[in-house]
Amino acid sequence: MRQINQFTITESVKDSFKAEEGSRFKFLLEAFIDHLHDFTREVNMTHEEWMGMLNFLYDCGQISTPERHEFILLSDVIGLSALVDMLNTKGGATEGSNLGPFYLDNAPVLELGADLARGRDGTSLLVYGMVRDTLGNPLPGAIVDTWQADGTGTYPIQEQASGQDKYDLRGKMTTNEKGEYYYTTVLPKPYTVPYDGPVGKLLRAGNRHAWRAAHLHYIVRAEGMRAITTELFFENTEYIDNDAVFGVRKSLIGKLEPVKKTEELGFALENRPDAKCRFDFVLAPEG
């Protein structure tokens, strides 16, 4: 310890931990220390920059709540979330995309054909498709968990002061015996990621916009299959090519089609839609 210097400190810090040899925890911890120390030396970090970084992280914690996770938002805007999604997408499965900061695990259970819009202004949209495995077999009993912004680009969870229920525009439904899911909702609009906290300050400092392309969020699960967290985007909409959190993938862009007044949709729906979009989810086996 008495001989420690700016170059030997990294090994000393790693040696101070007595994690199990060969464990994933030891590998991750030591790699983190290596990269963090290398970065600090590379940029010749000042005391002011060090404290600024720590205060930024502190501020992220201070503004976070069970309904708003600022650290997830930070991960999103620096592309970390997207990179982890890309690394963990399994061959043949639907590509992963951002969880976002507004997910709630205990969303209400909905019947197929339910209407999430509940009279909201905007384009009524039928979203439908199939959940299947990588061999093309349908997955009956799969859980489709969805949440979204409304026709103005606002999540109800952001507007509770105005009397909105934070569980609006979200729900969980189970695929039928054919592996199908279907429901109606309101077509979401683009919106800015939360801009009133430390992540907003970061974006402004970097001269970046905060707009997200219009999208629907999903987590899809089925027994024996690897769950996916992803998003559905819509072709020819704003910010599809410069989404603020790098969530768009070519395979996640759906086609919006108008619904004709006399068109037979083949589903029992609570609300007659103005438009429709089909999107199938593909799950890979666990392991």
Q: Is the separation of the CB atoms in 146 and 218 below 8 Å?
A: yes
> What phi, psi does 168 have (nearest 5°)?
-65, 155
What pLDDT score was predicted for residue 163? 61
Tokens of 109: 């259970």
pLDDT tens track for 123-171: 999 999 999 999 999 999 999 999 999 999 988 887 764 567 888 899 9
pLDDT at 74 over 80: yes
In the predicted model, what is the mean pLDDT of residues 64-73?
Answer: 88
* Rounded-to-integer distance, Cα 75 and Cα 199, Å: 10
Q: Which of 213, 226, 199, 72 is nearest to 142 (CA)?
A: 226
HEC per residue, 207-222: CCCCEECCEEEEEEEC
What pLDDT score was predicted for residue 89? 87
% of the chain at pLDDT higher than 90: 80
Mean pLDDT value across the chain: 93
In the predicted model, what is the mean pLDDT of residues 50-68?
Answer: 94
Per the document, the length of the chain is: 287
Tokens 């392991």 sit on residue: 287
Element (H, E) at 228: strand 228-234
* Rounded-to-integer distance, Cα 21 and Cα 32, Å: 16
Which residues are CB-contacts of 82 (< 8 A; sequence separation ≥ 6)? 76, 97, 98, 245, 246, 247
